[in-house]
Chain A
């Protein structure tokens, strides 16, 4: 992997901002690669976790925030537990995802994960507890995979493992206040669930995929 790194990038404040905001010393990383060796998802990533650490050290924000890796991290914390330099790598991945949200960077690939997170949280805000039917239905609809996991549905219904109607908690007002206030305090922009660009990207990708498979 070759990159051209300009002076501006090396002198950018990305590393300092990250270290200040999440309190993790990425500069301590000496590239032993233990995080990548233990990572269960590394086989799908474009940059390995240790490579992300190096890119952060070099201030290469754009590469990091547009990588697939930050979205594919499963938060299993294997890297965090094993890091000999005691860097909480999973927390850094969390931070990078939150930063990508904040900058409203929509990844061109791996769009399903941010979409899922959004629908999940909207679901909680609405009912207080997870309403699986709503989550799955909404996710399938917006991700363009309308019939995904349909074959599992009859089993789930027969075993009464999934409810048809949501369970609403009593004190929804207080809960919604928590959502509102934490968004405000964290200065997070409230993003629309139905993001036209995101939906267009998802659907077109699905259609192209189908056509390619037909060929």
Chain B
């Protein structure tokens, strides 16, 4: 199994542990991730708020780079990149007006032929849960987790075609397969305020507080995420949330790849647990 890998900006900086753990997991499962050479930022939210054409041209440039690698699908871990790449593909497939303009901007023909998949989707739907559970050497028994999907992984459903839009379950299924216990909670796809992390920090603190509280009330010991922005809002800003709302949260926020890697018997040092801000050792030592 080979994929062209688009890490995205976050995975090279604030979410390094997501990149490290994803590569380690892929390596352990025999999935080859070939990094797209000289990739550029997908433009994220600021691009589509400012210049629609640019928000399509940047992902298309990356997809063209991926095409040069050969006939591979693109794998990405960041939910925002995933969303931008998928939306660009949709426009290039269905909208001749935008297609023409984007082709003029990037100077090449493209009609959405490079398919994009999220790494979680690849693991669960292509590699298969049975194959994964066969390889699990250390079950994470007793770890209660709240699987948090955030906004962009499933929405809008007709473009993302990822999972159930209001009640996604891919991550829950994966967590069950490795022995952890996903709790049932209603905030799976609530928004954490993502792109307002720097600009409207108050909004982010309120939304993230609600998510942490809901996970805590549902009995979770940790939250599992698949998006670098969700992770940094919940993890990095947890101390500010505690201070502002006079709470005592100590909720580690893991990437699903970190827990999967742990269950596959990969050395925890190679999964970037030391890069998490909220110390996860208590939750990890509770694993029976």
Residues of A at under 8 Å CB distance from B? 40-41, 43-44, 72, 74-78, 80-81, 88, 94, 97-98, 101, 112-113, 115-118, 120-121, 124, 128-130, 132, 135-136, 139, 143, 148-149, 152, 155-156, 159-163, 167, 169-171, 174-175, 177-179, 181-183, 185-186, 188
B218 at the A/B interface (Cβ < 8 Å)? no
Residues in chain B near residue A120, CB distance under 8 A: 44, 46
CB distance from B81 to the nearest CB of A (A): 11
Residues in chain A near residue B196, CB distance under 8 A: 74, 113
**Contact A185 to B104, CB < 8 A, known contacts A78-B191, A128-B41, A152-B236:** yes
New contact pairs (18) apart from A118-B46, A182-B53, A188-B51, CB-CB < 8 Å? A41-B203, A43-B206, A76-B155, A77-B151, A117-B45, A121-B46, A130-B44, A136-B198, A149-B198, A156-B14, A159-B277, A161-B14, A170-B38, A182-B54, A182-B57, A186-B51, A186-B52, A188-B50
Complex CA distance for A161 and B49, rounded to whole angstroms: 27
Residues in chain B near residue A117, CB distance under 8 A: 45-46, 49-50
Is B61 within 8 A of A175, CB to CB? yes
Residues in chain B near residue A179, CB distance under 8 A: 54
**Contact A178 to B9, CB < 8 A, known contacts A94-B52, A128-B41, A130-B41:** no
Is B13 within 8 A of A132, CB to CB? yes
Is A163 within 8 A of B13, CB to CB? yes
**Contact A94 to B48, CB < 8 A, known contacts A80-B156, A162-B14, A175-B40:** yes
**Contact A185 to B40, CB < 8 A, known contacts A40-B193, A76-B151, A116-B199:** no
Kindly identify which residue among A44, A98, A112, A149 contacts B52, using a CB–CB cutoff of 8 Å: A98
Is A75 within 8 A of B40, CB to CB? no
Residues in chain B near residue A148, CB distance under 8 A: 198, 201
**Contact A161 to B16, CB < 8 A, known contacts A130-B9, A186-B53:** yes
Complex CA distance for A212 and B5, rounded to whole angstroms: 51
In the A-B complex, list the 7 residue pairs whose CB atoms are closest, starting with the nearest.
Answer: A130-B9, A76-B191, A117-B46, A76-B151, A77-B155, A120-B46, A182-B53
Q: Residues 266-288 of chain B: 1 if any A CB is under 8 Å from the residue's CB, otherwise 0?
A: 00000000110100000000000
Residues in chain A near residue B165, CB distance under 8 A: 81
Complex CA distance for A170 and B39, rounded to whole angstroms: 9
CB distance from B45 to the nearest CB of A (A): 6
Contacts A/B (CB < 8 Å), 11 sampled = A40-B190, A77-B151, A81-B157, A88-B156, A113-B196, A129-B9, A160-B16, A169-B39, A170-B38, A185-B101, A185-B104
Interface residues of B in 16-55 (CB under 8 A from A): 16, 38-41, 43-54
CB distance from A43 to the nearest CB of B (A): 8
Residues of B at under 8 Å CB distance from A? 9-10, 12-16, 38-41, 43-54, 57-58, 61, 101, 104-107, 151-152, 155-157, 165, 189-191, 193-196, 198-201, 203, 206-207, 236, 274-275, 277
Give the one of B46, B152, B198 with max A CB within 10 A.
B198
Residues in chain B near residue A139, CB distance under 8 A: 198-199
In the complex, how many residue pairs between chain A and chain B have their CB atoms under 8 Å apart?
162
Chain B, Cβ-Cβ closest to A130: B9
Complex CA distance for A135 and B46, rounded to whole angstroms: 12
Complex CA distance for A179 and B51, rounded to whole angstroms: 10
Complex CA distance for A130 and B46, rounded to whole angstroms: 12
Is B38 within 8 A of A169, CB to CB? yes
Residues in chain B near residue A178, CB distance under 8 A: 54, 57-58, 61, 105-106
**Contact A113 to B200, CB < 8 A, known contacts A76-B151, A124-B43, A175-B40:** yes
Is A75 within 8 A of B275, CB to CB? no
Is B104 within 8 A of A121, CB to CB? no
Complex CA distance for A101 and B13, rounded to whole angstroms: 30
CB distance from B93 to the nearest CB of A (A): 15
Residues in chain A near residue B49, CB distance under 8 A: 75, 94, 97-98, 117
Is A72 within 8 A of B200, CB to CB? yes
Complex CA distance for A192 and B244, rounded to whole angstroms: 36
Chain A, Cβ-Cβ closest to B189: A78
Residues in chain B near residue A80, CB distance under 8 A: 155-156
Residues in chain B near residue A75, CB distance under 8 A: 45, 48-49, 151, 195
Complex CA distance for A116 and B44, rounded to whole angstroms: 12
CB distance from B43 to the nearest CB of A (A): 7
Residues in chain A near residue B39, CB distance under 8 A: 129, 169
Is A185 within 8 A of B275, CB to CB? no
Complex CA distance for A75 and B84, rounded to whole angstroms: 12
Complex CA distance for A167 and B114, rounded to whole angstroms: 26
Residues in chain B near residue A136, CB distance under 8 A: 198
